[in-house]
Amino acid sequence: MQQLPPQPAYILHSRPFRDTSLILELLTPDYGRIACIAKGARRDKQRRQRALQPFAPLLVTLLGRHDLKTLGPVESAGQPLWLKGRAVYAGLYANELLVRLLPEGESHPLVFSAYQRLLTQLARLTGEERGEQGAVLEWPLRCFELHLLQALGSCPELDFSPLDNGPIRAELIYRLTMEEGFAPVHLPAGAVPRGNDFSGAHLLILNAWLFAGDENGGEEGAGSLEHRAEVLVAAKRLCRLILAPLLGSRPLKSRELFRQVYGAS
């Protein structure tokens, strides 16, 4: 039986398989999202199943020649990251996005790194942040979404307007079209911006945020608390606009769970 080299991995999803096994969806740097059978995992609850938990860094060996691999030896690659409160649902949301959107078997080391960074940031939170404090949850989540969309080739350039054939200008308003990216628009005085209209200044902050690669995800570059809140609203709106056609009409289970518990979107 063919054996793949050991890989760092996180478990994104698991479901029962036959009487004693599990089918796992893993995220790895070299193979991206990959499915495998964990034989006997449901029977061996004291050891193997306890190790196969979400948000825990693992080192896995996969066996087999077919698309559905068999899980071989599993080692812990570090301390599990215990997420709390709202951070749990943020982690489940990220897992569901990866399962739904990431092609199986394609190498995405940058997505793996973005996911690791997200979990590290979420693990620092109490999980009960609200209001202005809620930004510490929103910033890493939006950053992860943008990195994922960029890896999928679905994130338009945030600092360049193809129709204008020039850089995004902070003082202008831009309208997003999925086919052509951001195009400058002139809004008459008193006109209400559309849902796909964005401030050039916000787009430039998001672009800097996307490529900052620091622990704060570019948050410090957003200025005052009020300005940060505006950028966060724009980031959430942008991500949802791009994600909607990729996800289709089937709702996200993690989002529905979050609404049931916290009554928020």
Q: How long, in residues, is the chain?
A: 265
What's the mean pLDDT in 205-231? 67
What's the mean pLDDT in 188-203? 89
Could you give the angle at the alpha carbon of 251 between the alpha carbons of 113 and 236, nearest 5°? 55
| Band of residue 215 on the pLDDT scale cut at 50, 70, 90 | very low
Mean pLDDT value across the chain: 87
- On the 0-12 / 13-18 / 19+ scale of CB atoms within 10 A, 36 is buried
What does the pLDDT read at residue 102? 96
Contacts of residue 163, Cβ cutoff 8 Å, sequence gap at least 6 = 180, 181, 183, 184
Residue 224, helix vs strand vs coil: coil
Distance CA 112, CA 104 (A): 14
Is the pLDDT at 47 greater than 50? The verdict is: yes
DSSP 3: B
- Per-residue pLDDT tens over the stretch 177-191: 988 899 999 988 778
The CA distances from residue 209 to 99, 110, 169, 214, 222, in Å, are: 25, 15, 17, 9, 9
Is the pLDDT at 148 greater than 90? The verdict is: yes
Sheet holding 173-177, edge to edge: 181-185, 173-177, 197-199
Higher pLDDT, 53 or 265: 53
Structure tokens at 64: 């087999």
Residue 133, helix vs strand vs coil: helix
Residue keyed to tokens 């401030």: 199
Residue keyed to tokens 């002139």: 186
Q: How much is the pTM?
A: 0.88
What's the mean pLDDT in 80-90? 89
CB of 11 within 8 A of CB of 58? Answer: yes
Distance CA 21, CA 3 (A): 20
Is the pLDDT at 219 greater than 70? The verdict is: no
Is the pLDDT at 225 greater than 60? The verdict is: no
DSSP 51: H
